Amino acid sequence: DAKTTQPNSMESNEEEPVHLPCNHSTISGTDYIHWYRQLPSQGPEYVIHGLTSNVNNRMASLAIAEDRKSSTLILHRATLRDAAVYYCTPNAGGTSYGKLTFGQGTILTVHP
């Protein structure tokens, strides 16, 4: 299974952009990169995913390095509701489809 490395914690002020990095240097060529977040007392929530190109959705943007060994989740304007643990996880295709490998994640604190 591909391993991921993320900062243990990060802090941001409300309304400011947040860049959450993830290193996944052992990712295979067919693994998608998924990001989930987990708010207190809830199950993880899907945020965004991509394979090679940068991706945008209503929640966030995902910037994937050209060599795919790292990616960055971008929250354009952090809100208090964005305070959560953020996980990047390879999502394998083929027979391993759907097996998410979670690391420790990054605890994001958002200050008012």
Partner 1 sequence: DAGVTQSPTHLIKTRGQQVTLRCSPKSGHDTVSWYQQALGQGPQFIFQYYEEEERQRGNFPDRFSGHQFPNYSSELNVNALLLGDSALYLCASSRLGGGETYEQYFGPGTRLTVT
Q: Which residues bind partner 1 (CB under 8 A)?
A: 32, 34, 36, 41-46, 49, 87, 91, 93, 95-105
Residue 41 C-beta: closest distance to partner 1, Å: 8
Distance CA 95, CA 70 (A): 24
Q: Which is nearer to partner 1, 4 or 12 (CB)?
A: 4
Q: Which is nearer to partner 1, 15 or 99 (CB)?
A: 99
Distance CA 26, CA 49 (A): 17
Entry field: residues in the chain: 112
Residue 44 C-beta: closest distance to partner 1, Å: 5
User: Residue 57 CB: number of other CB atoms within 10 A?
Assistant: 11
Q: Which is nearer to partner 1, 94 or 112 (CB)?
A: 94
Residue 15 C-beta: closest distance to partner 1, Å: 27
> Which residues pair with residue 44 across a beta bridge?
none
Q: Which is nearer to partner 1, 13 or 26 (CB)?
A: 26
CA 69 to centroid of chain Cα atoms: 13
> Which residues pair with residue 102 across a beta bridge?
none
